[in-house]
A and B are shown apart, each in its own frame.
Chain A
Amino acid sequence: MAHSNTAVANEPVVTTVLSITLAVFALLTVLFLLQENGLLIPSGAAHYLHEATHDARHALGVPCH
């Protein structure tokens, strides 16, 4: 494989896949906390989540209502 001189080039593929999965999962959770408005969970719960995370959504600059 044409790997560059990246530090992680020589380790098992499993570790790399695990790292990428975890990073993506962390970012999707952030997206869920800051953007969920009824797409994945019932609208009542989404409304509660929206109100609970409301100040952080505004302060972190995410578009909000």
Chain B
Amino acid sequence: MWFPTRTIIKQAASSLALSMLMLLPTAAQAERIFVSNEKDNTLSVIDGETLEVIETIPVGRRPRAMAFSNDGSQLFVAVGDDEAIDMIDLDTLKVVRSLAAGEDPEVIRVHPDRPHIYVSNEDDNIVSVLDYQKRTRVTQIPVGVEPEGLGVSPDGKWLIATSETSNMAHIIDLETMEAVYHRLVGARPRHVEFTREGDKAWVSAEIAGTVAIIDMQDTFDVIHTLEFEVPGVPRETVQAVGMELTSDGRFAFVALGPSNRVAVVDQQSYEVLDYLLVGQRVWHLALDADENRLFTTNGVSGDVTVIEIEGDEGDFEAIRSIPVGRFPWGVVVAP
């Protein structure tokens, strides 16, 4: 007797097996977290599944900021003492070439569409624009004294460069490659992050321990300044540095340097919701692709703290600290 259902079950079973097989390679490919160790001249690679260091990549001297190429095949690392940007192949995890980047490159950012790397050259008071495909310098944009933090708007129209001596955020039009607005922010501005819509930019100031929110649609003015007060921690140790903003517009995370805390902020109301304890001198942050976890580099304690950020702020919890090299500075999660 012939049972049509049996055939259907067989077909369903085989297609299920096939789809399982197709899923296998992606399931096996766990996220990789790259951490630059400023004093070790290496990058530590952490496996997103086991949360263990699986590889250490030797790079140039004093590696700090990192960024991915637009196709996700390469990782760029600013190696300040070599005055270059090391380009790492993400398949082989080896430095394939170095790009001259001017004096003491510290922070780098990549344009969302163009093959451009923006580099802050602290000693020259300029932002260099490099083409990583042609490996040429496109232009140099003069900004304030000692440029440091950089941020590119999601639509690629704006670049913000902060100058840590002038205490300014310079808003640069990326069509004309000229700074068109200059806004005063807190003392020693360090880092810039845009909201997902690109309507606001957050600028952290290390010495002031504040974050300025700049309206990027109409006025290009500072519309709010966030302040932090960690109970029981001296005010001078609260230094705002790295930031990450969730794409759903709910939360922002601010690394507070030697206070060893990460502030959890409501992106809409600007209310500081919580302070999470991490390692010593927390510097930069990175969200994973699903935005379920936040990684922090802790410079003095030489480790990376993993914070689970699923649910509401009350559920956020530091779950592990992973030892890496000496003075971890930047952190990025491979897409």
Do A and B bind? no
Residues of B within 8 A of A (CB): none
Interface residues of chain A, those whose CB is within 8 Å of chain B, are none
